[in-house]
């Protein structure tokens, strides 16, 4: 257990209306990015973004997130091959017009993103001593998703685009990256400076699925 510290409590900054308007704009302009300029991201910027990402909440404060930067050309090529296999299999699920539309969608930025970040959940994490997850062990992975969303917003605030690729076989990713099975893949992320900026999701713009606000309703019980 960590010893309580007796330094004076810091006071929160005043988040004023200007900040709230900017925050709303940040939420609105965060995009899943699939087209990147090839300029590398400064290592210090990536470290800053990870410092921000790990401010996310986690069940029992377990901090189960594990970040792997995929850098070797052989490993990146293996990831791209796995995406191509998984995507070809997924494409076969659709028929007619929907199949034609699916085939036209760009669902990854693997070949141009300068930074590839695989994000895992360490299912054996001892931190947090199991607090909060006895009846819902999946809350460990939920915690990792929270860090990914925090990273997504932090990246956008720094002018960095991020894309989430899930059309992959997790067991292949673990084998390619030589990682233990108890590191469960949560996301394969492409990061870099975006080639273009949009206020609407690409899947909406290309006619796959509009933002309908369906889930926005609040049921009262």
Ligand X SMILES: Cc1cc2c(cc1C)N(C[C@H](O)[C@H](O)[C@H](O)COP(=O)(O)O)c1[nH]c(=O)[nH]c(=O)c1N2
- Pick between residue 60 and residue 194 the one whose CB is nearest to ligand X: 194
Say how far apart CA 115 and CA 11 lie, in whole Å: 36
Select from 18-26, 29-37, 49-57, 136-144 the region that touches ligand X (CB under 6 A). Answer: 29-37
Tokens encoding 67: 């970040």
| SS3 readout for 192-216 | ECECCCCCCCHHHHCCCCCCCCHHH
Residue of 157, 167, 177, 179 interacting with ligand X (CB under 6 A): 167
Interaction of residue 133 with ligand X, rule CB under 6 A: no
Interaction of residue 203 with ligand X, rule CB under 6 A: yes
The β-bridge relationship of strands 65-69 and 161-165 is unpaired
Say how far apart CA 143 and CA 137 lie, in whole Å: 11
User: Angle at Cα 34 formed by Cα 30 and Cα 35, nearest 5°?
Assistant: 105
Select from 114-122, 134-142, 160-168, 173-181 the region that touches ligand X (CB under 6 A). Answer: 160-168
Closest residue to ligand X using C-beta atoms: 201
Interaction of residue 165 with ligand X, rule CB under 6 A: yes
Name the packing angle between helices 139-157 and 43-53 (round to 10°): 130
- Pick between residue 120 and residue 164 the one whose CB is nearest to ligand X: 164
Whole-number Cα distances in Å, 95 to 100, 105, 200: 8, 15, 26
- Pick between residue 18 and residue 212 the one whose CB is nearest to ligand X: 212
Residue of 84, 107, 181, 185 interacting with ligand X (CB under 6 A): 107
Select from 14-22, 95-103, 130-138, 161-169 the region that touches ligand X (CB under 6 A). Answer: 161-169
């Amino acid at each position: 257990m960590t010893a309580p510290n007796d330094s004076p409590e810091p006071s929160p900054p005043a988040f004023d209306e200007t900040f709230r308007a900017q925050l709303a704009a940040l939420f609105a302009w965060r995009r899943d990015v699939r087209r990147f300029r090839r300029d590398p991201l400064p290592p210090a910027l990536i470290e800053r973004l990870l410092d921000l990402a790990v401010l996310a909440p986690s069940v029992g404060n377990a901090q189960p997130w594990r970040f792997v930067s995929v850098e070797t050309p052989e490993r990146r090529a293996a990831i791209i091959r796995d995406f191509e296999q998984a995507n070809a299999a997924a494409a076969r699920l659709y028929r007619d017009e929907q199949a034609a539309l699916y085939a036209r969608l760009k669902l990854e930025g693997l070949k141009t993103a300068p930074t590839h970040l695989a994000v895992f959940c360490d299912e054996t994490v001892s931190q947090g001593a199991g607090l909060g997850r006895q009846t819902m062990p999946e809350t460990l992975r939920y915690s990792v998703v929270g860090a990914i969303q925090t990273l997504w917003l932090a990246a956008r605030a720094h002018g960095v685009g991020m894309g989430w690729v899930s059309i992959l076989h997790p067991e292949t990713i673990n084998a390619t990256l030589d990682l233990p099975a108890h590191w469960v893949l949560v996301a394969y992320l492409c990061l870099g400076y975006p080639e273009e900026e949009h206020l609407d999701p690409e899947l909406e713009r290309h006619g796959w699925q509009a933002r309908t606000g369906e889930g926005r309703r609040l049921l009262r019980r």
